Amino acid sequence: MKEEIIIISLGGSLIVPDQIDISFLKNFKTLILSHIKQGKKFIIITGGGKICRKYQDALKEISKPSHNDLDLLGIYSTRFNAEFLRLIFENLTDSEIIVDPTLPVNFDKPIMIGAGWKPGCSTDLDAILLAKNVGAKKIINLSNINYVYDSDPKVNINAKKIEEISWADYRALIPSEWNPGLNSPFDPIASKQAEEAGIEVIIMNGKPIDNLIKCLNGEKFLGTVIK
């Protein structure tokens, strides 16, 4: 029987919303460990989140960075978060984080931690490339939003939540091009590849942790399924 590999894209907004969220990370660790005991394996890719955007905004105030410069800054913020997460899981992770999602993956340990790869996209693309790499057809994308909406709920109080949507319809809702610091539930470059590869992505809030528990247990959860 083929081992179950679960891919989680863990938003930086959950790791470091303003301060490091120790309570969330403890609960997340406990949950992942409980599923490892069931024989599951995990690839967890960390985002940069608010701290990434703070660095990018500060750099733009001080100098005139290119898109490439801003992307590189974002990449290193995701890698710092990834190293932090790798140490949280102690001896259950590989000794190095994944920074190139196209290279062969060897699961010596039950958890592998990944981060940003190269300019021109977000860690959403890393998650898609890793899914293709290991033959996974589903990614759980954890952030601080509950659903994908038909418009920005921060701007439109009448924005409607979407529980299930096709890739074609989802891609019509978001920008078609990538920009550093783009705040989109799933970035346009990754979305295009996900559609082509037939990969399902679940967009959901990582809090409360009970919602993720339901998702991992195959129960009804709150969130948006894009497929």
Q: Structural domains in the chain?
A: 5-226 (3.40.1160.10)
Question: In the prediction, which pLDDT does 95 show?
Answer: 87
Per-residue model confidence as pLDDT tens digits over 127-180: 999 999 999 999 999 999 999 999 888 888 899 999 999 999 999 998 888 776
Number of C-beta neighbours around residue 163 at 10 A: 10
Question: In the prediction, which pLDDT does 12 show?
Answer: 92
Token pair, residue 164, equals: 């299930």
Q: What is the DSSP string of 145-163?
A: -SSEESS-TTT-TTPPEES
Question: In the prediction, which pLDDT does 1 show?
Answer: 44
Question: In the prediction, which pLDDT does 153 show?
Answer: 85
Question: In the prediction, which pLDDT does 177 show?
Answer: 81
Exposed / middle / buried, residue 152 (Cβ in 10 Å: 0-12, 13-18, 19+): exposed
Q: What are phi and psi of 178, to 5 degrees?
A: -90, 135
Number of C-beta neighbours around residue 115 at 10 A: 26
Distance CA 129, CA 101 (A): 6
Residues of the chain with pLDDT under 50: 1
Cα–Cα distances (Å) from 126 to 22, 101, 169, 201, 220, in that order, read: 25, 6, 22, 13, 27
Question: In the prediction, which pLDDT does 16 show?
Answer: 93
